[in-house]
Structure 1
Amino acid sequence: MDIDSPDKSARIRALNDSFRRTFVGGVVHITAGVEALCPEVRAEILERVRTFERFTHENDPHDEHDLGSFVIGNSSFLWKIDYYDREMKHGSEDPDDPEKTTRVLTIMLSEEY
């Protein structure tokens, strides 16, 4: 199967959406900048990541739902899903196969990117 096939993108998108909405099925990291915020703001950030749906061709050209950004108050935030092998030593060769892939969701202040 072609690595960029619509079926492959659809499987990756479904896995990414499930992980992002539930935080189950991978590893979630928040950066030091997000950790330093008050608990109420951190809770709002996590909720915004879980409910993010503003995907467009410009911010999601591969239609895999692996990146998003939003603003809370005067701060801009970014979340990104990366794909690693199960041992988390290398990038995953097959991100649409959850048996071969560990998803890592990083949530950060945009300035930390």
Structure 2
Amino acid sequence: MTTTTATDSEAARAQQCARLNDLCRAGTLKQSRTVFTRGCIDAFCDPDDRLSLFAVQAELLGKVRGHVFAEGDDPHGERDFGAFEHRGKRLFWKIDYYDPSLSFGSEDPTDLAKTHRVLTIMLVSEY
């Protein structure tokens, strides 16, 4: 007989969150959105050039989507946080779990009916 421990269920939860977070980063999860902080946009965009904004967003998203997790940089196994360099500046990205109305934290980040993910890309100084 196999018994399930809290550690087993925590590991399964982390794996499910990681899978959903990967879909969020890939831009294929319907229950998610991506936001860029004001500082992040100001650091890289020409305020008078709207195409510059879209180009910068695409560059940053490309780096987030291509992020490779190294041993030790994902201690909870959820693949919800990372860091990278862009044009000489250090940035973070973070996935947070909210209820579908985006008013409160999610009760269960593994349940798509109860969770909307928000991927935020920011300068390290804004964290």
Shorter-chain TM-score tier: 0.7 to 0.9
What does residue 62 of structure 2 align with?
Answer: 47
In terms of mean alpha carbon deviation, does 97-106 or 24-33 score higher?
24-33
TM-score (norm 2): 0.79
What does residue 69 of structure 1 align with?
Answer: 83
Superposition RMSD in Å: 1.9
Instruction: Say whether the 8 Å CA contact 2:102–2:116 is kept in structure 1.
Output: yes
Instruction: Say whether the 8 Å CA contact 1:31–1:108 is kept in structure 2.
Output: yes
**More helix, by proportion:** 2
Instruction: Say whether the 8 Å CA contact 1:75–1:109 is kept in structure 2.
Output: yes
Alignment of 1:18-97 (within 5 A): 18-22=23-27, 24-25=29-30, 26-36=32-42, 37-38=44-45, 39=52, 40-57=55-72, 59-97=73-111
Q: CA separation of 1:98/1:27 partners in 2, compared to 1, >3 Å: closer, same or farther?
A: same
Question: C-alpha deviations, 1:35-83, integer Å up to 9, x for none?
Answer: 22233443321100111112432x2111000000001232001000000
Tell which structure's C-alpha radius of gyration is larger. Answer: 2
Percent of pairs with identical residues: 39
Q: CA separation of 1:53/1:6 partners in 2, compared to 1, >3 Å: closer, same or farther?
A: same
Structure 2, gaps ≥5 residues long? 46-51
Instruction: Say whether the 8 Å CA contact 1:55–1:68 is kept in structure 2.
Output: no
Structure 1, gaps ≥5 residues long? none
Give the number of aligned pairs: 112
